């Protein structure tokens, strides 16, 4: 793209230290920079070679409200160690060795006083050489990844040119004749709906003739494969097809009676002419406010300087915010958290009359260190434990009451359709956590009152009643807005919105538009890449910086980044807002990024880049620039997105992440052979392997979680347990027919070498204890049921009688260990039955081994990030249809609801392509 010299883009932006790049790059400066860089042979470009030490995204800590209810999830951030809330006195000495969790031995503490770039240098994370798949090929993995990326980009360029060439072809005259009024009505061309489905296939998507869309996805009967494929639809195991159909009809009837309406298939509906109008009628019941604060018992007090103090109810509530979360040490031990809490707490004390001792004398609270919240914490901990220990019947009854109370808020009427509301609860008051090193962490989040809430609802609809004695801030009827209610929180001044749920029409349409926009990018990707590659050598600094940023965003999935108010928000950055200290260059072409990214998650990665890109970054960092100066000082995110929109309407930097993930996944899935005979577990691993490659190529990585080794050890123990069970089964065969040892060979009956005697003894003890625990729980459950039915509980004598089974099992194991023989078990034991059992155990072992290999391969890549946010769900649906794998194996119930539009629009069509 040509650069307009009259634009304001060549003007320096206001920078922290006033150090900015020259507006023009002279040929002499270019040559000097070329001569200053290393002449060593560069490594294969466009590859992520090391994923840095960020905290595992999967580690989530749930903040709790004073009453123990989960409030929200927050991701761990930089500088925080995994906190063990378990009491140190709790020992695992009594647990079997095979079941104990492995203790970490190399725990390191990060100092908040050190710069980000200097932290965690004790041990570098695994490099690409250490984490690559083993292969007989001598070619380095980095070279292979670079070649794979290059091949996919070549295919994308070729496809883009073909799409544009086809678009330029004139429409045949025959098409006009086909739409003539003289043609029979049956032959008239049908109008396509939303570009998703039509009577004929469009992009491989077809409209189903007979829809069962009013049934939940998980309950739908799998459609019979077309006769052309030469395969008969298999009947349900153990059931005839008609019986299954009848069952589905019964469930559908029940579902319809609950919902009293059919599912709205918006993907089949005609496209709206005015897309800005979101609804014509809207009815809902407002928001659900948290319960009022329940004061502490008289014997539970906040203690200041060893003196119990009385507080006004408002101040006491704020004290409980801190006291109830003493277990969350990463928060309550944070000096910034303490400082902000203490400031707000003392302000409320001043407004409410302060603190007093038991004699009514005023107590001046001046130092945070003298506050003791232990009694408050113990009170809420006891309440939580008592709540968990309640009988199942009581919990069930309470849940039924709660569900009945919340039901009116859970749904709204949107254009006459019943739609689920996402977050209808107003967040309770508490202490603001924030993510990363947020400057306002610990600040008191005040209780939201109805007077702060604005309701958005249809003009003809009944406005929901506010709580007694209150009124709404405002009621409006904005049909271009998709929120139902809104208020402003006090900590950051952000607006909070009540929106529809993830599986709603509005959210589904937003997802659909996101992926369709990424598909639209296919037409232009070759021109964009060619242009920014050319501009990497531009003489205009603004153009060269823009081209370099586009390269990083396209190749390595960096986010564009937005300007932050660093006084009130954590200083997170993206590509366009990178600072001098965030980028380290290592000859000949390695770039190391280290900064706080989205949600204050540390982004620490090493990439190999094109030689020209490396030279550009070196130029952007040259003196007099120092720490605090911007790398891209002549580029902003808005300027970058404005430039991208010149290629395609609505194109922004974030579309590249979706495009690259979806297009790469599409190409990888096309290379798979569906005719190959594989088990379901093997097919799932095949899909995950493609997903993993997308995650690596698109840089959706994570650091190995602290719990990974423990999880792998548990999985290994499960596999060992099945091998032990298999060995016992084989020994039972010998008990029936000792001659089998000669027929099958002694090797068949040998103990697996991974099972040593110490492990076997520990595993046997575990099996005995597991049997006892199961008997105990079954006994308690039976008594709860009898109590609910008004019957007398079973006596303790019954429990002792049942527990004899565990004692007998223990004695059996001792006998087996001594005699090295295993007596045949079960009713009518036969060799044939045991052979079948051995085969089934083999299948289970194979499945777990595949899971183990899959989990080990996924330890450094975020498959969920790619699959949920960036890979078009229709690709997954098409793969499931093509390889005849249930969609439930790839999408959880929540994701099946979220991507219902993709599941329904693709259906059984295995030919759909991105």
DSSP 90-102: ---TTS-GGGSPP
- Write down the residue that tokens 């659900």 correspond to: 288
* Residues 6 or more apart whose Cβ sits within 8 Å of residue 677: none
SS3 841: helix
Burial 397-407 (b: 16+ CB within 10 A, else e): eeeeeeeeeee
Cα distances (Å, whole numbers) of residue 361 to 76, 80, 354, 358, 453: 43, 41, 10, 7, 40
> Do the Cβ atoms of 732 and 824 come closer than 8 Å?
yes
Computed over its alpha carbons, how large is the radius of gyration of the chain?
32
- How far is residue 529's CA from residue 554's CA, in Å, rounded to a whole number? 9
Tokens of 830: 């036969």
Per the annotation, the verdict on 870 as an active-site residue is yes
- How far is residue 553's CA from residue 654's CA, in Å, rounded to a whole number? 8
- How far is residue 339's CA from residue 350's CA, in Å, rounded to a whole number? 17
Q: In what helix (H) or strand (E) does residue 411 lie, and over which residues does it extend?
A: strand 411-414
Choosing from 304, 580, 724, 870, the catalytic residue is 870
Alpha helices in 235-373, H assignment, sequence order: 241-259, 313-323, 329-332, 335-352
Q: How many CA atoms lie within 13 A of 161 on its CB side?
A: 8
* Dihedrals phi, psi of 283, to nearest 5 degrees: -130, 135
Strand partners, 606: 50, 592
- How far is residue 489's CA from residue 446's CA, in Å, rounded to a whole number? 8
- How far is residue 361's CA from residue 352's CA, in Å, rounded to a whole number? 15
- Write down the residue that tokens 């009898």 correspond to: 786
- How far is residue 455's CA from residue 478's CA, in Å, rounded to a whole number? 10
- How far is residue 368's CA from residue 118's CA, in Å, rounded to a whole number? 32
Q: Helix crossing, 655-670 with 505-521: angle to 10°?
A: 80
Cα end-to-end span (Å), the chain:
27
Evaluate the omega torsion of the peptide bond into residue 611 and state whether it is cis, within 30 degrees of 0.
no
Tokens of 404: 């009945």
Q: Which of the residues are catalytic?
A: 870
């Amino acid at each position: 793209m040509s650069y307009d010299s009259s634009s304001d883009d060549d003007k320096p932006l206001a920078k922290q230290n006033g150090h900015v790049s020259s507006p023009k790059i002279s040929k002499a400066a270019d040559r000097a920079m070329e001569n200053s860089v290393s002449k060593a042979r560069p490594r294969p470009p466009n590859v992520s070679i090391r994923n840095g030490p960020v905290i595992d995204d999967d580690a989530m800590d749930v903040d709790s409200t004073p009453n123990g209810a989960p409030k929200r999830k927050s991701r761990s951030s930089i500088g925080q160690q995994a906190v063990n809330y378990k009491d140190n006195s709790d020992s695992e000495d009594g647990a079997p060795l095979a079941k104990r969790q492995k203790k970490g031995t190399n725990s390191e503490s990060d100092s908040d006083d050190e710069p980000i770039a200097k932290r965690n240098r004790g041990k570098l994370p695994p490099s690409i050489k250490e984490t690559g798949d083993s292969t007989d090929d001598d070619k380095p993995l980095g070279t292979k990844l670079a070649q794979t990326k290059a091949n996919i980009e070549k295919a994308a360029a070729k496809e883009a040119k073909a799409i544009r060439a086809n678009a330029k072809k004139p429409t045949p005259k025959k098409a006009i004749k086909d739409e003539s009024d003289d043609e029979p009505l049956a032959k008239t061309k049908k109008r396509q709906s939303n570009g998703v489905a039509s009577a004929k296939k469009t992009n491989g998507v077809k409209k189903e003739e007979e829809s069962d869309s009013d049934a939940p996805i998980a309950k739908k009967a799998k459609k019979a494969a077309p006769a052309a494929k030469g395969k008969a639809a298999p009947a349900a195991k153990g059931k005839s097809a008609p019986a299954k159909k009848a069952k589905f009809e019964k469930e559908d009837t029940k579902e319809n009676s609950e919902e009293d309406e059919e599912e709205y298939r918006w993907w089949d509906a005609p496209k709206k002419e005015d897309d800005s109008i979101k609804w014509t009628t809207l009815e809902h019941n407002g928001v659900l406010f948290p319960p009022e604060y329940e004061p502490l018992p008289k014997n539970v007090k906040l203690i200041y300087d060893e003196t119990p103090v009385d507080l006004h109810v408002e101040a006491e509530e704020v004290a409980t915010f801190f006291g109830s979360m003493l277990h969350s040490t990463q928060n309550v031990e944070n000096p910034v958290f303490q400082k902000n809490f203490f400031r707000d707490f003392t302000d409320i004390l001043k407004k409410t009359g302060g603190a007093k001792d038991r004699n009514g004398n005023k107590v001046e609270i001046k130092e945070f260190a003298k506050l003791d919240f232990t009694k408050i914490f113990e009170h809420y901990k006891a309440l939580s434990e008592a709540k968990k220990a309640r009988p199942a019947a009581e919990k069930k009854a309470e849940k039924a009451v709660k569900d009945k109370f919340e039901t009116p808020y859970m749904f709204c009427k949107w254009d006459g359709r019943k739609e689920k509301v996402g977050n209808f609860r107003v967040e309770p008051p508490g202490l603001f956590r924030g993510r990363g090193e947020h400057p306002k962490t610990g600040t008191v989040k005040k209780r939201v009152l109805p007077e702060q809430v604005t309701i958005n609802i249809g003009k003809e609809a009944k406005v929901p009643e506010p709580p007694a004695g209150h009124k709404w801030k405002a009621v409006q009827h904005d049909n271009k807005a998709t929120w139902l209610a809104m208020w402003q929180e006090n900590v950051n001044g952000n607006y909070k919105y009540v929106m529809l749920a993830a599986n709603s029409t509005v959210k589904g349409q937003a997802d659909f538009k996101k992926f369709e926009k990424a598909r639209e990018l296919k037409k232009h990707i070759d021109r964009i890449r060619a242009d920014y590659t050319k501009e990497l050598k531009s003489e205009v600094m603004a153009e060269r910086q823009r081209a370099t940023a586009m390269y990083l965003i396209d190749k390595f999935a960096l986010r564009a980044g937005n300007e932050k108010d660093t006084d009130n928000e954590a200083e997170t950055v993206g590509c366009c807002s990178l600072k001098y200290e965030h980028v380290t260059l290592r000859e000949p072409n390695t770039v190391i990024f280290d900064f706080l990214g989205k949600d204050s998650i540390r982004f620490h990665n090493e990439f190999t880049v094109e030689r020209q890109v490396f030279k550009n970054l070196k130029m952007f960092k040259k003196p007099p620039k120092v720490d605090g100066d911007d790398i891209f000082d002549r580029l902003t995110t808005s300027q970058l997105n404005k430039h991208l929109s010149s290629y395609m309407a609505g194109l922004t930097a974030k579309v590249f992440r979706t495009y690259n993930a979806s297009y790469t996944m599409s190409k990888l899935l096309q290379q798979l052979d569906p005719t190959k005979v594989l088990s379901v577990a093997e097919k799932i691993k095949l899909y995950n392997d493609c997903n993993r490659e997308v995650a690596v190529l698109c840089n959706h990585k994570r650091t190995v979680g602290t719990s990974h080794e423990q999880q792998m050890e548990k999985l290994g123990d499960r596999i060992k347990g099945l091998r032990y069970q298999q060995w016992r089964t084989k020994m039972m065969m010998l008990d029936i027919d000792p001659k089998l040892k000669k027929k099958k060979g002694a090797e068949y009956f040998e103990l697996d070498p991974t099972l040593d005697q110490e492990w076997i003894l520990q595993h046997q003890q575990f099996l005995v204890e597991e049997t006892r625990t199961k008997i105990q729980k079954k006994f308690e459950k039976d008594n709860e049921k009898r109590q609910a039915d008004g019957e007398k509980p079973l006596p303790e004598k019954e429990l002792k009688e049942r527990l004899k089974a565990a004692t007998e099992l223990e004695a059996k194991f001792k006998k087996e260990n001594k005699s090295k023989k295993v007596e045949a078990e079960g009713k009518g034991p036969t060799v044939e039955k045991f052979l079948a059992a051995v085969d089934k155990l083999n299948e289970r072992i194979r499945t777990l081994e595949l899971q183990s290999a899959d989990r080990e391969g996924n330890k450094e890549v975020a498959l969920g990030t790619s699959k949920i946010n960036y890979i078009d769900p229709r690709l997954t649906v098409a793969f499931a249809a093509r390889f005849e794998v249930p969609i439930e194996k790839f999408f959880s119930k929540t994701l099946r609801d979220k991507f219902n539009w993709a599941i329904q629009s693709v259906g059984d069509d295995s030919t759909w392509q991105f």
